[in-house]
Structure 1
Amino acid sequence: MTRTIQQLFDLRGKNALITGGSRGLGLQMAQALGEAGARVMLCARKADELEQACATLQDAGIDARWVAADCAVEADIQKLVTETLHRMGDIDILINNAGATWGAPAQDHSVAAWDKVMNLNVRGYFLLSQLVGKHSMIERGGRIINVASIAGLGGNPVGLNTLAYNTSKGAVINFTRALACEWGQYGINVNAICPGFFPSKMTAGTLAALGEERLAALAPLKRLGDDEDLKGITLLLASAAGKHITGQVLAVDGGVSALVGG
């Protein structure tokens, strides 16, 4: 007998690990999973922000906890996986969301800044996925959702110099496709979400430089993303409703990536 739509989207009994989960897009995605019944583990670098985010989720009736870790540091990633497995059990859903950006003209971009972006945005995704796969998912299946960006699909408006960030998110997109093909045999679905412009601490510089109104005007829907716009796609990709979706990249950007030359 086929499941109802409510059953397909039900995440009760599932454990989710969300990096960069203390604010912004990561916290929004954690809320979506928790509201559907999942237990969530938030990860970020700052304990005070994690405590506040966890309290917000718990006040909404969500089973939430946290681990402070820097996902650019291999030892921290190992600690994160060990603690999550110890405190929650097997990880059913992994959201790779922790990220960094850097703004500078290509000719002036420092190697240190380039390495910082790549270590967190690409190497960190690989190391965490590898550990979660080996210790939790390969024997039992699971869902991995990588947060990329529409910046990984092409270039930028004039004045937005984020070469390392764009390059890293392009790498995340093909990392997603390649890992989906390799790990499909284990029942692991791997997909990527490419957000457009969402107001956040990370995008504050971009919004200030280019202007919120200008960026909103670029989108066919004439708006920026808000604190609900990733919840639906996150739940789809994390739940049984998305069990036949893998290796896919979906832009959530108000239509910006659909524009010719956009």
Structure 2
Amino acid sequence: MSEASKGNALVTGAGRGIGRAIALALAEGGFDLVVNDLARSAELDETVAMIRDKGREAVAVRADIADIDGHAAFLDAAWNAFGGLHCLVNNAGISVAKRDDILTVTPESFDRLMNVNLRGPFFLTQAVAQRMLEAPQDRFRSIITVSSINVGFVAVDRAEYCISKTGLAMMSRLYAVRLASAGINCYEVQPGVIRTDMTAVVRERYDRLFESGVAPIARWGETDDVGNAVAMLASGALPYTTGETLRVDGGLAIRRL
């Protein structure tokens, strides 16, 4: 852990998009970073370089979070990079391969989404929490899970995605209750419509929705909006909170008449 560090954070799915923005925001907040993505992610090295440009330490650990059998080696590398972890950000996730009717969802597509978006993060969080419980508490510690506005917004053309993200919301609250007595605070961040490669396929649709006033803040969310929210929670600025959900959605979830 480098001088004046807030601690060490592990961010999954940090090769680009929201994950990269989270890692950079944490670096700006004083964290040293272990960043993760799939082995084939060429962008991960770019994330490391960008973090180091901000004066923080960074190490890339390539692993598939859906591979539960590989979690031990993955976590060994992440934990030992700087001598422990103070923050885990469950960000890695995938969308449906094809947007289609709920009546045509296949078991293969369902299982793929659950393995990556829910099963992997659940058991990775379990493993990180076990190690945190065994380690001395020398910094504020947090586990932050990035879900989606689809926890509360139905999208019948992405049913398995919505279900996987809803599971993450409950997962975060469960771990919040279990870990509170150990001083490990857990949070869920729900991004709304964020400008990423994942949402590029529906750009025109959401452009029209924003023009029609679908959200009080009538614009696309940016990856930095999510990154800044995660960094605030990880900073320990809200120590008397856990199990909370922070929506980064421009007010989209506000019910209006």
* Alignment correspondent of 1:130: 126
Residues in 2 aligned to 1:118 and 1:134: alpha-carbon distance in whole angstroms: 23
- Aligned residues, how many? 247
Relative to the length of structure 1, the TM-score reads 0.88
Moved more, 68-77 or 145-154: 68-77
| Residue 64 of structure 1: how far off its partner (Å) | 1.4
* Alignment correspondent of 2:80: 86
* Alignment correspondent of 1:22: 15
Residues in 1 aligned to 2:68 and 2:170: alpha-carbon distance in whole angstroms: 22
Residues in 2 aligned to 1:71 and 1:215: alpha-carbon distance in whole angstroms: 34
| Residue 215 of structure 1: how far off its partner (Å) | 4.3
Which of residues 60, 63, 66 in structure 2 aligns to 1:69? 63
Which of residues 116, 123, 127 in structure 2 aligns to 1:120? 116
1:146 to 2:160 alignment: no
Instruction: In structure 1, give the amino acid aligned to 2:132.
Output: S
CA contact (8 A) 2:29 2:235 kept: no
Tell me the percent identity: 30
What pairs up with 1:204-223 in 2 under 5 angstroms? 204-207=200-203, 210-215=205-210, 217-223=213-219
Which of residues 97, 102, 105 in structure 1 aligns to 2:91? 97
CA contact (8 A) 2:34 2:81 kept: no
* Alignment correspondent of 1:42: 35
CA RMSD of aligned residues (A): 1.8
Structure 2 spans left out of the alignment, 5+ residues? none
Moved more, 187-196 or 252-261: 252-261
Residues in 2 aligned to 1:83 and 1:180: alpha-carbon distance in whole angstroms: 25
CA contact (8 A) 2:18 2:227 kept: no
Change (3 A) 1:220 1:13: closer
Which of residues 168, 174, 179 in structure 1 aligns to 2:170? 174
Residues in 2 aligned to 1:219 and 1:123: alpha-carbon distance in whole angstroms: 32
Residues in 1 aligned to 2:70 and 2:179: alpha-carbon distance in whole angstroms: 24
1:159-199 CA distance string (max 9 Å, x none): x6110111111111111111101111111101100000111
